Amino acid sequence: MNFEEFLMIIEKYGLKSTAIIIFLFLLIKFIKNKWGVWLIQKIGDKLSILTKKKDETIGIRTIKESDVLNHEIFNYIDFWVSSRIPTIEFSTEYRTIVFRRYLTIYLKNYKSKIYSFLNSKKYQGMDNSEVNQSLLQLINDIINSYEKEMIDDGIPKYIVNKMKCKNNDMVTLTMDLIDNMCNSKFYESDKNFLKVYSILNILLSILENAITGSQLVCNSINGHLKGFRFRDGDSEVIEP
């Protein structure tokens, strides 16, 4: 990324979103390094000791099942789908309709799959390894689900693949963090509530990144969609 591209991102998405993107990018680079993984593990273990001591003296709010079930990720998804996405404008009418549809399917699949996972309550009786595998499987199931629905809905596979490439680093980061959280004493809690709650916090940032990054993906496509058609209700739009 050169300086002009950096300024363009700030101008388009604001300092807050830009800071999140840069932080996640650096975190990806860091966590892929074996020393980064080791350091995160050690920091987590130290924080666990400090948290336990603090908990014994002044008390800390414990994450409960209601906190997990009512996590803010669900409210954010509802807001994005109903208010934010319908106002996002892309470079052409065709791309605006298609990318809005992409993001809507993307977010709704995350919401429904996460909600089903939480309501099954299966994770509550799992050991660390089982929680790890179930969360990784959840991510894979979500990806497979929304990609299939998108293709069935008529979204060009080219767009699905472009967004997949854009999101791959975030997915890798999420899986690495899941693995580290499930193997860190810092996230030990009753019925795995803290682990799951923390993962939902991470997923919230990942979803935000996908929304803000969709316009960059759109602008990078150039003329690859020329002549493509997409049916929107009773009307049809064509990429010029």
DSSP string of the chain?
A: --HHHHHHHHHHHHHHHHHHHHHHHHHHHHHTSHHHHHHHHHHHHHHHHHHHHHHHHT--PPP-HHHHHT-HHHHHHHHIIIIIGGG---SSHHHHHHHHHHHHHHHHHHHHHHHHHHHH-GGGG--HHHHHHHHHHHHHHHHHHHHHHHHHHT--HHHHHHHHHHHHHHHHHHHHHHHHHHT-GGG--GGGHHHHHHHHHHHHHHHHHHHHHHHHHHHT-TTTTTT-EEEETTEEEE--
- For 93-134, write each residue's pLDDT tens digit: 999 999 999 999 999 999 999 999 999 999 999 999 999 999
CA 48/CA 78 separation, integer angstroms: 34
Residue 177 has pLDDT above 90, yes or no: no
Averaged confidence pLDDT in the chain:
81
From residue 197, alpha-carbon distances to 49, 73, 115 in Å are 20, 10, 12
Average pLDDT, stretch 24-29? 55
* CA quadruple 132, 115, 47, 33: dihedral, nearest 10: 50
CA 239/CA 86 separation, integer angstroms: 19
Average pLDDT, stretch 156-174? 90
Q: What proportion of the chain, given as a percentage, has pLDDT over 90?
A: 55
